[in-house]
Structure 1
Amino acid sequence: MAAAIDWYDRRDELEPGMVVVDFSGTKLRLDHRVPGDGTNWACDVWYTREDRPEGGFWCADEHTIHPGDIVSVEGK
């Protein structure tokens, strides 16, 4: 089994539009870095809805995430 990636250590590899999952299982899409030290990201939250053709929708509610809370990145 591969070791988990520490996204805090690799935070410079994160880019807008990347889809990540946090420790609670929430699917997020990175939007932009939060002003300050540039570590935290503002992101859109995926809400699953069976009645939607796509299976859900993105909500731009300015949720924030710290790279250390990312457990996986889609495609990585």
Structure 2
Amino acid sequence: MNQVELLDANGYIVPTATQYAVPRNRIAEVENHLLTELAVKDAAEQSRDGCRVYASEYRTRVVPMAGTARLAQAA
């Protein structure tokens, strides 16, 4: 499983667009959705603050999710 993140033009993660537990065979589909729909929406919202933001400057990052993650316990 993978986590697919949408990064804005400055390289910041768009928190409302992160997709979790994406199977390897669906990564391209999820990336397409993030870049064609959510990037456009986020760029429009950011552009309302006075500076132009373009969805074409957004990109995605795929992060493999570790299946054996453990939480450390306090002593």
Q: Same fold (TM over 0.5)?
A: no
TM norm structure 2: 0.24
- Quick check: which one's strand share is greater? 1
User: Greater relative contact order (Cα 8 A, min sep 6): structure 1 or 2?
Assistant: 2
- Quick check: which one's helix share is greater? 2
Give the greater-gyration-radius structure (CA): 2
TM norm structure 1: 0.24
